[in-house]
Amino acid sequence: MDKNLIEVSDRIERGERLSEENGIKLLESSDLLSLGRLADFVRRNKAGDEVYFIANKHLYYTNVCVWRCKFCAFSRNLNDSDSYTKTIEDLILEVKNSENGLSELRITGGINPKLSFEFFENLIFSLKSAFPYLHIEAFAPTEIDFIALSSGLSVEDVLIRLKKAGLGSLAAGGAEVFSPRIRREFCPKKTSGKRWLEITKTAHQMGVCSNASLLYGLTETVEERIDHLIEVRNLQDETGGFNSFIPLPFLPENTKLFSFSGSTGFDILKMIAVSRLMLDNFKHIKFLWIYGGLKLGQTALSFGANDLGGTVIEENKGVARSAGAKNFGFTTREELIRTIKRADRIPFERGVLYQARN
């Protein structure tokens, strides 16, 4: 084992919380297999052998966005020829066409000033009325921020009303890296990291849970990555409202950042392992298999991951695809189950709150 890992490894064995310095050592190590073993050890104790996945559908209500983050290939300007904003009827139809076996809708979109609070409220209400048995996970904290600002309502009121309309939980997204330096460079208009955490905390306190993520592979330093994880960990200590953590590799294809080489398989597995090791108060570390394929996803199960995301049924202009995910598309329930079993683990189809599906 890399000798820089020995101290950290002892701490992990004793079940101690890792410090920022420990985290940095982990990220700097090139001994990926040892990191994997440590993460796998923690995963086994904390989360057992089940591997979770969900039958879900992603809905994007608009790709018009006035924030235009540099790493985003999904968003468009209002008058771009391929911009779209969907009507509620369209969205309902979209779900109807692929409803079979779904348990969750995941609804997100760009920051489109043309949309009023009533639209968002109606959207949730109509979908929930049309599909009462589907859990609705909608809007990242950034979208909530925008909805509150543009409607003049407080974040609390926005959440209360959306919850009443049928909102089940908040979507992951907009967390990116909290570092102000990185946000200034790549997404200056976006909700700040601090604000993101505040909104998330408010939601958690109201019983609306959510997911945390980290977009990595831009120009952030190892410290910035670890600090992000620690912020997330602190909030989780306070609220316990995060269901899972999702490290998201930045994939430069299709974005304006061509010069980036993006995240490689090494980075992806390492970030999963480090997330597992740092986030001692998270049970679920998720590898979204669309970001690297099922083969890599299966491998990630040995590096700390215990969730593979969805049997994603995604439309053409989804965010993951726009951010360059190559294995875009959907996989079947059978294929996911087989993949998990062949890694000697137990497939577990979950609901949004990690409950078993009946």
Partner 1 sequence: MGFELKDIAEKIESGERLSKEDGLKCLKSNDLLSLGLMADSVRKRKTGDIVTFVGNHHICYSNICINSCDYCSFGRKTDDPDAFTLTLDQIRAEAIESKKGTVPEILFMGSIHPDFFLEFFKEAIKIIKSEVPEIKILAFSPVEIDHFAKQEKVSVNEILRCLKTTGLSAITGGGAEIFSQRVRKELGCENKISGDRWLEIMEAAHLEGIASNASMLYGFIETDEERIDHLIALRGLQDKTKGFTHFLPFAFAWRNLPSPAGYDDLKMLAASRLMLDNFNHIRSYWCHLGLELAQVSLLFGADDLNGLKQKGRIIHSSGAVESQFVKRERMIDVIKRARRIPRERDVLFNLID
List contacts with ligand SF4 (CB under 6 A). 65, 67-69, 72, 74-75, 110-111, 142, 187, 190
Give me the least distance between CB of 34 and partner 1, in Å please. Answer: 8
The answer to whether the CB of 328 falls within 8 A of the CB of 33 is no
Residues in touch with partner 1 (CB under 8 A): 30, 32-34, 36-37, 40, 261, 264-269, 292-299, 302, 326, 335, 338-339, 342-344
Closest by CA position to 287, among listed 278, 1, 303: 303
The least distance separating partner 1 from the CB of residue 343, rounded to whole angstroms, comes to: 5
The sign of the dihedral angle between the CA atoms of 266, 270, 273, 279 is negative
Binding partner selected for residue 65 from ligand SF4, partner 1, none, CB under the kind-specific 5 to 8 Å limit: ligand SF4
Could you say which of partner 1, ligand SF4, none residue 283 binds, taking C-beta under 5 to 8 angstroms by partner kind?
none
State whether residue 352 is helix, strand or coil. Answer: coil
Minimum CB distance to ligand SF4 smaller for 72 or for 277: 72
Q: Which of partner 1, ligand SF4, none lies near 30, with the C-beta cut-off 5 to 8 A by kind?
A: partner 1
Q: How far is the CB of 268 from ligand SF4 (least distance, A)?
A: 20
Residue 75's binding partner among partner 1, ligand SF4, none (Cβ under 5 to 8 angstroms by kind) is: ligand SF4
Closest CA to 285 of 295, 294, 297: 297
* Rounded Cα gap, residues 241 and 170, in angstroms: 10
The alpha carbon dihedral of 238, 282, 197, 119 has a sign of negative
| Minimum separation from the CB atom of position 60 to partner 1 (A) | 26
When CB distances are held under 5 to 8 angstroms depending on the partner's kind, the choice from partner 1, ligand SF4, none that residue 323 binds is none
Residue 164 to residues 121, 124, 129, 206, 270: CA-CA distances in angstroms?
9, 9, 12, 12, 40
Cβ proximity to ligand SF4, 71 vs 242, nearer residue: 71
The token duo for 137 is 């996970």
Take residue 255 and report the two structure tokens written for it. Answer: 């974005």
Cβ at position 204, least distance to ligand SF4 in Å: 22
